[in-house]
């Protein structure tokens, strides 16, 4: 990941004043100079640069002129079409500050573009030895999704079913790439130490595996309508998941109500039961000889299965911490 030139707060548009326009234009021009020279930009800088480029009334160029705009261009197209990749749905796009309905020619061009992105991404995720850990984890997750998804391919008899399979296969790939882009920004937002949570005096690490697994399995309901997984609602924002869980763990610790092992943590937040699984893992750390053991947050999801809820009611006691939060401990 690239080292940012600007802080995230500096890349937020504060108001419409003349001074703010001068400030943001100055940042834009410095990023444009780096983009022209193909110097690395972090994802937040890329998004800021591309947003400014999209609304600029000067002769600054277009998204297609800059390699650093590839992820931004993809995300904009994906968000406009992900709900129906057939090309025959109802679509809305943004131009400047206005929404509009694309015409047939533009829709066909966008669907063709997304298809080419999916093909390219398939080549990427089929690589089993990426040097970048985030890319390694999203590739492994996506290959597993494809393996599961492909089990139904042998039962397709009709042309319509084969077309739907092709579209849904493409949807799986594009959702995977979108999750990867989101995860890139998440790891830019916080220092590494902010992904270390503490409970009962033990550290629990949220790493690339944790984030990719949770985003892919428990935040993708709209693109996985047939999944048996449970999905988070708006109470947990994926970009701030580590901070929100850190605050919840801090409240649990302060209450003194939880002394159980940390491998399986159940709590109630805003009347929804949640489950966190933690496991001992090993990793290599620079400067250390051999592997070291650590606690990795494996997954985090709301409990919807009646069996899991029944287990909580039968075998655990619920302790209220505040109006929003309660913790379950073993009877």
For residues 230 and 224, give the distance between their C-alpha atoms in angstroms, rounded to a whole number.
11
Q: Can you give the residue ranges of every domain in the chain?
A: 1-65, 74-189, 191-331
Q: So what's the pLDDT on residue 291?
A: 86
Question: In this structure, what token pair is assigned to residue 133?
Answer: 């850990």
pLDDT of residue 154: 66
Instruction: Return the closest-CA partner of residue 258 out of 183, 199, 304, 188.
Output: 199
pLDDT (0 to 100) of residue 231: 47
pTM equals 0.89
Strands 202-205 and 93-95: unpaired
pLDDT of residue 157: 67
Q: How far apart are CA 50 and CA 129, in angstroms?
A: 31
- The answer to whether the Cα torsion of 237, 241, 243, 246 is positive or negative is positive
Calculate helix-pair angle for 104-125, 159-189, nearest 10 degrees. 70
Residues 226/298, Cβ–Cβ less than 8 Å:
no
Per-residue pLDDT tens over the stretch 281-313: 998 887 777 789 999 999 999 998 778 888 888
pLDDT score for 313:
85
Residue ranges for the chain with pLDDT beneath 70: 1-2, 152-157, 220-234
Which DSSP category does 236 fall into?
Answer: S
Q: How does DSSP classify residue 65?
A: G
Q: SS3 of 263, please?
A: coil
- CA-nearest of 132, 125, 172 to 152 is 172
CB atoms < 10 A from the CB of 234, how many? 5
Which one-letter DSSP state was computed for residue 70? Answer: H
Check: CB of residue 204 under 8 Å from CB of residue 248: no
């Amino acid at each position: 990941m690239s080292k940012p030139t600007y802080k995230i707060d500096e890349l937020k548009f504060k108001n419409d004043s003349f001074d703010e326009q001068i400030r943001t234009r100055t940042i834009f021009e410095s990023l444009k100079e780096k983009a022209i020279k193909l110097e690395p930009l972090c994802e937040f800088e890329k998004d800021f640069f591309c947003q400014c480029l999209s609304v600029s009334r000067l002769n600054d160029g277009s998204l297609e002129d800059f390699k650093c705009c590839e992820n931004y261009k993809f995300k904009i197209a994906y968000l406009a079409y992900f709900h129906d990749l057939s090309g025959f749905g109802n679509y809305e796009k943004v131009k400047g500050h206005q929404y509009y309905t694309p015409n047939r020619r533009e829709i066909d061009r966008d669907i063709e573009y997304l298809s080419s992105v999916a093909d390219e991404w398939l080549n990427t995720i089929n690589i089993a030895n990426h040097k970048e850990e985030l890319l390694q984890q999203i590739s492994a997750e996506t290959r597993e999704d494809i393996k599961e998804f492909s089990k139904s391919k042998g039962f397709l008899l009709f042309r319509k079913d084969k077309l739907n399979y092709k579209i849904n296969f493409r949807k799986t790939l594009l959702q995977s790439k979108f999750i990867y882009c989101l995860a890139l920004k998440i790891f830019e937002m916080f220092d590494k130490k902010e992904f270390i949570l503490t409970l009962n005096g033990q550290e629990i690490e949220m790493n690339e595996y944790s984030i990719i697994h949770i985003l892919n399995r428990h935040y993708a309901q709209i693109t996985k309508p047939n999944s048996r997984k449970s999905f988070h609602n708006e109470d947990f924002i994926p970009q701030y998941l580590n901070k929100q869980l850190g605050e919840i763990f801090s409240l649990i610790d302060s209450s003194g109500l939880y002394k159980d092992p940390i491998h399986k943590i159940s709590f109630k937040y805003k009347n929804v039961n949640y489950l966190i699984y933690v496991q001992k893992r090993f990793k290599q750390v620079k400067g250390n000889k051999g592997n070291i053991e650590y606690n990795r947050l494996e997954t985090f999801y709301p409990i919807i299965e009646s069996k899991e809820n029944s287990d909580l009611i039968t075998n655990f006691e619920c302790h209220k911490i505040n109006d929003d939060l309660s913790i379950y401990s073993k009877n």
